A and B are shown apart, each in its own frame.
Chain A
Amino acid sequence: MNDVKTAWVIGKYTFIEILKSRVIYNTFFLGLGLLLISYVAAEFTFGVPQKVALDFGLGALSLSATGIAIFLGGSLVHKEIESRTVQMILSRPVKRHVFMVGRIFGMSALLVINVLILGVMTTVMYFILGGSFDVLILWSILFSLLEAVVMLNVVVLFSMVTTTTLSVIFSLLILILGHNISNSLELNAVKSSPILETVIKVYSYIFPDLSRLNIKDFILYENSLSVLYLCKMTIYGFFYSIILLCISSVIFSQKDLE
């Protein structure tokens, strides 16, 4: 069996394990709550209830996927090391980086399911309230998934070098900074300080600029985005995740599993 098959097996059982821990039920209930809130909020608006529903839906979808990625991702590999289940797996012919890829793959599959459930619920509500199809909605859902996968890789990387709690806290900081880094460059205080501006620019080159993956406003205000931009951002999210995964794998390969 080659490494791809091994990663597939680990991913499959990671998915089953997390699924059985019933986290997906929370997503389902969140989806139902979301439908209810969207409906109620839409009733209180004039003119564009479908957009309110969409705004609520996409926002909750993004929050839910990123939340699951950060809070479950913090213990995805770290807990395996702490509880030593990883030793059972690595006592079989399994390479450490393959184990890491498998875990991330399994967790990502769960994020896909989460995003699909909430995405379908959101768009259904949007269409029920009279919304018309916009391809950017699908892109936005895809970008929410990408953002969650990026954050999953961020939290896993942190968990390789620190505790689960700290890795979650650091990841939340990265999430907040990542969504505001572009906006901060527009501030007068930043513009007037070349050093600060350079620091923020350097930061945005190294750490994830998640505002690039947030295209909800473009949908709500009916602005268009070029396909080139959308493809570039997809590649950005994808490769950012791959690079983080590689770094985590290298650290994990060197780690003593006591």
Chain B
Amino acid sequence: MIECRNINKVFKSDILEGPHQALEDVSFSIGEGETIGFLGANGAGKTTTIKIILGFIKQTSGEIKFDLKSMGSSRMEHMSRIGYLPERPYFYPHLKGMEFLTLMGNLSQVQSHLLKERIQKWSKRLQIDHALGKPINSYSKGMLQRIGFVSALLHDPKILIMDEPLSGLDPVGRKEFKEVMQEVHAEGKTIFFSSHIVGDVEEVCRNVVVLEKGKLVYQGLISDLIASQSNSKYRVVVRGEHQEVFDKNVSLLGDMTTSISIEKSEKEIFLKQLLDQKFEILSMTPDNLSLEEVVYKIRNHE
């Protein structure tokens, strides 16, 4: 759908400190129907990448390729298929919510009856319908995010590109946004959103692109990333007496309850021993790292 090929971006604005390389040879692709989380610490280059994809800034070198079939050939066709939500949505403060949405709908060439329908549908779903008659300068940060999300959905885009969409939202708002993301993905839309909060990405996405200091660290399935970084151990939680039989990788969880880490290869033998010694096996799970732990691990390696 969208492919970034060897993107480099050097900012030359700071005379005293010299040029700053924001992106270095970044290549990844966004496939149709995928949910991709764009991870990276603050300043990793996520917003710069998104701005390059949207044509707000030009890359120093490299190219952005849009799939002809799904995204069209001209920039205008690309933009009519993209729904964009910036980190801090920027609006005309004196316009009312409804006026702003009508403006965005008109610019997106949405027919008036469809526009009316969609404004009603999405503003209700994102719980901002009550404020559409009020000027935008009276909106809170969360309300701005909500109306920004509505505006990104008005023209029924094929792909949603969102820059830190969950920042500034309360826990309920975050949950709602994630649900809507999953809903629109179920309708067949591609989701690409940046975040520095790993848990959010893990909850919504199957795929992830990880940037670190302007360099691509990983692109692919989250499950593959976790598997590649995790060890081959299992964690067994047991209850029973005579816990002195466990010699290593043991942590006491409570009275007579113990968690033991074992190698995958010795799983069967160990379970047999436990049963023989009359231990109650409470659980046995692969001892995987969370995505957050994996990302920290990758960053530390970089």
Listed in ascending order, the chain A residues whose CB lies under 8 Å from chain B are 1, 6, 9-10, 13, 16-17, 20-21, 83-85, 87-95, 256-258
Contacts and interface: CB of A to CB of B under 8 A. Distances in A.
B277 interface: no
B94 A20 contact: yes
Contact of B90 (A1, A85, A92, A93): A85
B108 A17 contact: no
B90 A13 contact: no
A16 to B, nearest CB: 7
12 contacts: A9-B107, A13-B92, A13-B103, A16-B95, A17-B95, A83-B90, A85-B90, A88-B91, A88-B148, A91-B79, A91-B82, A93-B108
Interface residues of B, number: 31
A6 B106 CA distance: 8
B89 interface: yes
Given A85-B90, A256-B58, A92 B95 contact: no
Most buried by A among B56, B91, B95: B56
Contacts of B95: 13, 16-17, 20
Contacts of A88: 84, 86, 89-91, 104, 148, 151
Contacts of B114: none
A257 B155 CA distance: 23
B147 to A, nearest CB: 11
B99 A13 contact: yes
Nearest to B161: A91
A6 B54 CA distance: 19
Most chain B C-beta atoms within 10 Å of own C-beta, residue among A6, A84, A92: A92
Q: Chain A CB within 10 Å — which of B77, B99, B148 has the most? A: B99
A155 B106 CA distance: 29
Contacts of A1: 106, 109
B152 to A, nearest CB: 8
- Nearest first, the 7 A-B pairs at minimum CB distance are A20-B94, A91-B84, A92-B107, A84-B90, A93-B76, A257-B56, A256-B57
B51 interface: yes
B127 interface: no
B259 interface: no
Contacts, number: 76
B57 A257 contact: yes
Given A9-B107, A16-B99, A256-B58, A92 B92 contact: no
Nearest to A84: B90
B80 interface: yes
B107 A89 contact: yes
A257 B54 CA distance: 11
A249 B84 CA distance: 24
Nearest to B76: A93
A16 B86 CA distance: 24
Contacts of B92: 13, 17, 85
A116 to B, nearest CB: 22
Given A17-B92, A91-B54, 4 more contacts: A1-B106, A13-B95, A13-B103, A20-B95
A84 B57 CA distance: 13
Contacts of B106: 1, 9
A92 B56 contact: no
Contact of A92 (B79, B91, B99): B79
B56 A94 contact: no
Interface string B43-80: 00000000100111110000000000000000011011
B79 A93 contact: yes
B135 to A, nearest CB: 8
Nearest to B74: A93
A17 B104 contact: no
A9 B91 contact: no
A60 to B, nearest CB: 26
Contacts of B155: 92
A90 B56 contact: yes
B275 to A, nearest CB: 61
B207 to A, nearest CB: 23
B94 A17 contact: yes
B57 A93 contact: no
Contact of B104 (A87, A92, A258): A92
A90 to B, nearest CB: 7
